[in-house]
Amino acid sequence: MAIGIDPARELFRELQDEIEAKFRDLEGEGGFTGQAAALPHGGLSRPRVLQNGARIEKAAVLYTHAIGDSLPAAATDRNPHLAGQPFQATAISLIVHPRNPYVPTAHMNLRFFLVGTQNWHFGGGFDLTPFYPFTEDVVHWHRTANEACRPHGDVYARLKANCDAYFYLPHRHEARGVGGIFFDDWTEGGFDASLAFVESVGKHFLPAYAPIFERRATIPWGEREEDFMLFRRGRYAEFNLVVDRGTRYGLQSGRNVESVLASLPPRARWPYDYKPLPNSPEAALTDRFLAPRNWLEVVDKSGD
């Protein structure tokens, strides 16, 4: 297959349709809104956003194809040799903020850059941010991530380590969640193999996430659990606004700010110097789950 924007663009639009349809099914009522719009220098933005649902408080599944004369600084920090060259980029980015604190927040981003006529790379991955984690859910998430990687070589451990390193709040000395897989500047095996790898990652997101959502969405919760979820959502917002390169890239590229910030949670809170009670369900998140570990080797013997 010739290197070009079209195969990646078609894949990401297909994934947007599939994931939006599944989120509609998980929600059970209501729907997505958002109108396609041309971007300032060419291309297309197709945001799809669900808000105030009964089971999903907010979900965004965003597709973009951008054309420009030169990459924003957030895209050239690691690749300064690409600065000042014309480019095309296409991506799918999604976030789901469930209403039930026992259902984790989940995120995926997949992207392709073609800079000039010869330089190209893929990037992306998916990660999970639970509030009240269940061992079986985290193990399932990572096993499915490993399955996405397996046909393309022994890369899961490396991409998991990348994810643990990236989704980290240095000012809090704390991980955002339980990770997943993450990769930058991916060209391994050439264009066809790289496209197939990215397709595998995209196609494994729903098998990784939907069973967790369906298992936990009917668990009763109260004010305590909701308050803790909103506190942890504050950490999520901090990461997106302070650390995330994707947010900086979107703001620097002149895209619609509503789409760029669609990943932010609809509600969050910042209680001063909050610390969970020792041995509480809230403390279990940091005590047992946020530190990086090899989830493929974890055996759930607790029944949690």
Sequence-ordered alpha helix ranges (H) in the chain: 5-27, 73-76, 135-149, 156-166, 191-216, 223-238, 245-252, 257-260, 281-284
Residue with tokens 């420009």: 68
Query: What CATH number is associated with residue 67?
Result: 3.40.1500.10
Provide the domain count of the chain. Answer: 1
Alpha-carbon gap, residue 40 to 250, rounded angstroms? 13
Q: Which residues pair with 186 in a beta bridge?
A: 122
Is the residue at 303 inside a domain? no
* 91 falls within a domain: yes
Does any domain span residue 217?
yes
Full DSSP string of 37-63: EE-TTSEEEEEEEEES-SSEEEEEEEE
For residues 182 and 128, the answer to whether their CB atoms sit within 8 Å is: no
Which residue type sits at 14? E
Which residues make Cβ contacts (< 8 Å) with residue 99, sequence separation at least 6?
53, 54, 55, 56, 57
* Residue matched to tokens 């609809």: 266
DSSP 8-state class, residue 293: -
Q: Please indicate, yes or no, if residue 302 is contained in any of the structural domains.
A: no
Q: Which of 41, 65, 81, 107 is catalytic?
A: 107
From first to last of its 304 residues, the chain has per-residue pLDDT tens of: 678 899 999 999 999 999 999 999 999 877 898 888 887 777 888 999 999 999 999 999 999 999 988 877 777 777 788 788 888 999 999 999 999 999 999 999 999 999 987 899 999 999 999 999 999 999 999 999 999 999 899 999 999 999 999 999 999 999 999 999 999 999 999 999 999 999 999 999 999 999 999 999 999 999 999 999 999 999 999 999 999 988 888 878 766 788 888 899 999 999 999 999 999 999 999 999 999 999 999 875 544 4
Q: Is 107 known to be catalytic?
A: yes
Print the domain residue range for 290.
Answer: 5-297
